[in-house]
Structure 1
């Protein structure tokens, strides 16, 4: 096992975790798994988040301060945001294309879709939304009794605590003024921003501001501060090394807990949950896999010819497998930075600046999933979204992704805002809750892969890419070495 590369150990941990969860469900041990094994998975994510926030802070300060030239900083910042925006639009466009071709919502039996349609019309009437396609089942006497039953069901569903909580969060975002995102960017209390998971953009703002100011003071005064920041960053990277040595065992606990909570003591629940949402899940999965294995490699081939297809995935596999298991690009950030620096040969000046920003603003996987989810839910309720409404989804999903927290299932809150932008019921997120956690794992892999792709492109443009293809598997980044 000692000679086995880290990413293979993590994959073994993933598989064993799922097998254990299904076995414990069959034997009635799910409560034991949730109470005595799953907490170690939570500890793992907490440890990575503990490291991630200060690492973002000090790595951005270090990256900006070591650039040396304020003009270079502005140029790199513009290229970074432009590249992330481009990949986000590609992801949303791909998602909309797939969901309109496959039509996963239309593959559900028609009787269920009629019931869903009646439920939608009841909601739209109560909320004052206009039904634009001219179809109205509520006016048909044949559906009156069914409509009454569906109305009662909808009211009970809306009382779901988890949905209500996410709707309340989305309402606060929706009701804010047009410049509220700009106001939220600037912290009034930096230490509060450090302790609040949702304020990563404020930490990035402070780090950029601090780093830029270091560029404008005499070198003899800034050098000690820069040296201290670099040293602190190295300490946090060593913390990552130590935590990752136990990653396969932590990942086993994490996956065992996630699947056990879904299944309980009835293994059939997992099958029923996934069977009902299979076409939706397959559509999202297809889009995410195309992003990882086709779109990003094509972009790399276009801009960075020296990184081969296999070499890229070999270099990034530890970060990708960790992203899959944690569902958090922020928690994966320390490993992503190390993979990009050590394996892809991207200069630390680039990774320290581009990757922490990417972990916050680059949510390609989340945007693709939002596009598919909104159209799927519309199809499920027999609603045909116009081209204009689908373009609204593109714009809203892109802007919503910028402020989306890099933590598990944060995309669900943003999805509520996207649903509202095209006049659909935000409570419908409850429909896709059961499969969201699994798909979230794949979405995070897309986000991390996109971050690595963009950082490689920026490094190439700045003349800071020094990729060397490893001669053997042992030269690929392995935390255990």
Structure 2
């Protein structure tokens, strides 16, 4: 891999930003650190403004496009995908509840900002109020998206698709390139505040746990699938390994669709069913991403001793499962879609969200690999229930649904 190609990878730039933030915290004067504190404040305020727009712009056309699919089989596939994502979050909650007290210890951290009174304050702030709240954006997106499936609305559908393209351009050309600077400023502040070693030491453990848990999640998914379809689960999982490896290298569910399709067919899924479920699940099934985000969020809650009740966090999981539909198909896209609900439901501040972003991107490809490999399990279940023919949906109709799902993915990549 050439240096130019390596430098273009978001993971590489995030790692460099973390290292530079740690090193620079050893000698940066306060006035220079305040430059990055100012930037982080402005960028965080922009995210507060932009995230509700992102949610509406991405969820609305996704719901409208999915709603034009093959009736009950689309509902079944979407229901299984959503259920799998929610179960992943609940498993993460159970594992974290049982292990974090001894894994992360009892030491709690204060906020990451401010060395002392008056230090590391931004030079100036610009308030950027959001046009509407995150929950408003979510409800509005569902109402408009579902309404477009019930009435002929070609002009409006084209409009929201174009809005989706505009928002994706902002993400790719503005938000994603600035994330390394945001992460740099956060780790610079942690180093100067003296909390760096505690945060890094704890999150390394969580990163390892999250990686292991995404693998165990796949084993569980295929054990359940094997019991339903009456096939050897480990053989089926092994057949999906090319898709897992491809996603590990690309960090993109959409880019892995061709490989996932071939692997699903080798597992006995008919071409009709595979062509319908795999592209669709690449958009709406993010169980691996849910596992990582839930474990990281619970780590932040534990480390900073945040007052979040069990029911509040379970509600967060159910909302996050819906937000995953809006996840842009770029590295770190799922965590960007989750930023709104992290702040709105859990009360995370900009530093805690920055830690979440850095940790998520560090093992982004493992979550993506778990997502696409799980898509193969869902395809096998739908194939079993539908008898391999989607209950009478013919190839032309299935192809239409595949095209719709691919259109959603293409617009995000």
TM-score strictly above 0.5: yes
- Contact 1:284/1:368, CA 8 A, preserved across alignment: yes
Out of 376, 380, 395, which is 1:456 matched to?
380
Counterpart position of 2:356: 432
Partner of 1:474: none
Q: 1:278 is matched with which residue?
A: 204
Partners of 2:293 and 2:360 within 8 A in 1: no
- 1:158–1:114: structure 2 CA closer, same or farther, 3 Å change rule? farther
Q: Residue in 1 aligned with 2:301? A: 378
1:351-375 C-alpha deviation (Å, 9 max, x unpaired): 1211121111111112222222222
Correspondence 1:442 to 2:352: no
Compared CA separation, residues 151 and 88, structure 1 to 2 (3 A)? farther
1:330 aligns with 2:297: no
Unmatched 5+ residue regions in structure 1? 1-16, 18-31, 43-56, 65-72, 120-146, 201-257, 263-271, 466-481
Q: Which residue of 2 aligns with 1:369?
A: 292
- Indicate conservation of the 8 Å contact 1:288/1:442, yes or no: yes
User: Does 1:75 pair with 2:72?
Assistant: yes
The total of aligned residue pairs comes to 304
Cα distance in 1 for partners of 2:245, 2:101 equals 28
Q: Which residue does 1:5 correspond to in 2?
A: none
Work out the CA distance in 1 between the residues paired with 2:9 and 2:311. 47
CA contact (8 A) 1:104 1:376 kept: no
Instruction: State which structure, 1 or 2, has the greater radius of gyration over its C-alpha atoms.
Output: 1
TM-score (norm 1): 0.54
Q: Say yes or no: does 1:346 pair with 2:269.
A: yes
CA, structure 1 residues 151+416, in 2 after alignment: closer, same or farther (shift >3 Å)? farther
| Equivalent residue number for residue 96 of structure 1 | 93
1:320 positional shift:
0.7
**Following superposition of structure 1 onto structure 2, how do residues 45-84 of structure 1 map, counting pairs within 5 Å?**
73-84=70-81
CA distance in 2, matches of 1:171, 1:422: 15
Distance 1:158 1:323 in 2: 42
User: Using the alignment, how far apart are the partners of 2:260 and 2:160 within structure 1?
Assistant: 26
Q: How does 1:35-50 map to 2 (within 5 A)?
A: 35=4
Q: How does 1:3-402 map to 2 (within 5 A)?
A: 33=3, 35=4, 73-103=70-100, 107=104, 110=107, 113-116=108-111, 149=116, 152-153=119-120, 155-156=121-122, 173-176=134-137, 178-184=139-145, 186=148, 188=156, 190=158, 193=161, 275=201, 277-293=203-219, 295-306=220-231, 308-341=232-265, 343-402=266-325
* Residues in 2 aligned to 1:365 and 1:285: alpha-carbon distance in whole angstroms: 9
Question: Any conservation in 1 of the 2:206–2:299 contact (CA below 8 Å)?
Answer: yes
Deviation at 1:189, TM superposition (A): 5.5
Which residue of 2 is the match for residue 416 of structure 1? Answer: 339
Tell me the alpha carbon deviations over residues 140-172 of structure 1, each in whole angstroms, 9 at most, x when there is no partner.
xxxxxxx7727744x55998xxxx9xx999977
Native 8 Å contact 1:359 1:406 kept in 2? no
Say which SS state the counterpart of residue 367 (structure 1) adopts: helix
* TM-score (ref. length: structure 2): 0.62
For 1:285 and 1:40, the matched residues in 2 are separated by 20
C-alpha RMSD over aligned residues? 4.2
Q: CA deviation at 1:459?
A: 0.4
**Residues 379 and 173 (structure 1), Cα distance of their counterparts in 2 relative to 1, 3 Å cut:** same
Preserved CA contact (<8 Å) 2:285 2:375: yes
CA contact (8 A) 2:284 2:324 kept: yes
Unaligned 5+ residue runs, structure 2?
12-61, 149-153, 169-179, 185-196, 390-413
Distance 2:129 2:294 in 1: 22
Aligned to 2:51: none
